Amino acid sequence: MNKILSKQQLSENVFKIEVETPLIASERKPGQFIILSLDDNYAERIPLTIADADESKGCITLIFQVVGATTKKLSYLNIGDTIDNVVGPLGKPAHIGKVGTVVCVGGGIGAAPLYPIAQGMKKAGNHLITIIGARTKDIVILENEMRKISDELIICTDDGSYGRKSLVTEPLKELCEKNPPPNLVVAIGPPIMMKFCSETTRPFNVPTVVSLNTIMVDGTGMCGGCRVTVGNKTKFVCVDGPEFDGHQVDFDNMMKRLNTYKRREKSRFEEECKLDTQINKLKGN
């Protein structure tokens, strides 16, 4: 169980792995996630979206960015290794249906959680326009996969090293100004990007769905650590979400909550990085 069947490095800090979890592979729906931890005693539990699944192989695909201690350790694992704990599929599935034109916007690693939803939207018969944004060319991920399913694909980079030099909100705004505007926008990425996408579509009244990535512990509604304010009500991202109406989410509060443990996590990460340099030295790199 939970054996890593394949591993691929998509960019400097982004990895894609296939993990053998037959039950999760057959039960999961687009938009859902898993929680994993690397040992029973001292490891942390972290949520990752199920980017894809292959029922016949009994495996799920995870795409993760190395940002802290746990994702770093995860990136050390190789084909044949197992992940001690994987639980899922958690969260509510994405709402997928035929609405007409759907714009899917993925920022950075957000393209990973976006992919299964975009796939579902296309399958449901929508006209699919995909926008992917990244800081620079080297970290654009899932371009080919997205191109295959999209009727139109727009790539933006902050530095103009690839595609259009702009933030994702620029082409999004242009699409909203068209007549008719898109019927639905799905935006997934860093909170700040989801916030500005929501602000972009608000004046046009285009329904906008975001998928929130709060800090989690259990993922089953037990701790309330993942809570966010949506339309002035408290919601638990792990059980009520992760999808919410972007026009209702209090992103500022969410971003502050994401920083709750920043200082401590940073020191932890630096420890791991030191370890990394040591390992590299040993390997003679």
Ligand X SMILES: Cc1cc2nc3c(=O)[nH]c(=O)nc-3n(C[C@H](O)[C@H](O)[C@H](O)COP(=O)(O)OP(=O)(O)OC[C@H]3O[C@@H](n4cnc5c(N)ncnc54)[C@H](O)[C@@H]3O)c2cc1C
Smallest separation, CB 226 to ligand X (Å): 7
CB of 136 or CB of 234, closer to another protein? 234
Compute the half-sphere exposure of residue 224: CA atoms within 13 Å on the CB side of its CA: 2
Residue 48, interface with another protein (CB under 8 A)?
A: no
Is 5 a binding residue for ligand X by CB under 6 A? The answer is no
Count CB atoms within 10 A of the CB of residue 100: 11
Decide if residue 22 touches ligand X (CB under 6 A): no
Q: Which of 107, 115, 5 is nearest to 52 (CA)?
A: 115
Residue 89 contact, options ligand X, ligand FES, another protein, none, Cβ 5-8 Å cut-off depending on partner type: another protein
Q: Say whether residue 86 binds another protein (CB under 8 A).
A: yes
**Helix (H) and strand (E) counts in the chain:** 9, 15
User: Does 219 help bind ligand FES (rule: CB under 6 A)?
Assistant: yes
Could you tell me the smallest distance in angstroms from the CB atom of residue 11 to ligand FES? 28
Cα–Cα nearest to 4, from 12, 14, 13, 15: 15
Residue 125 contacts ligand FES per CB under 6 A: no
Range 9-28, binding another protein (CB under 8 A): 23-24, 27
Give the C-alpha separation, 236 to 159, whole Å: 36
DSSP label at 124? T
What is the rounded distance in angstroms from the CA atom of residue 18 to the CA atom of residue 21?
9
Stretch that binds ligand X, among 43-51, 79-87, 227-235, 274-282 (CB under 6 A): 43-51
Structural tokens at position 213: 């990535």
The answer to whether the beta carbons of residues 212 and 254 sit under 8 Å apart is yes
CA distance between the termini of the chain: 33
Binding site for ligand X (CB under 6 A): 33, 44, 46-49, 63-65, 67-71, 109, 112-113, 213-216, 242, 258-259, 262, 265, 268-269
Binding site for another protein (CB under 8 A): 23-24, 27, 37, 40-45, 69-70, 84-90, 217-218, 220-225, 227-229, 234, 239, 250, 252-253, 256-257, 259-261, 263-265, 268
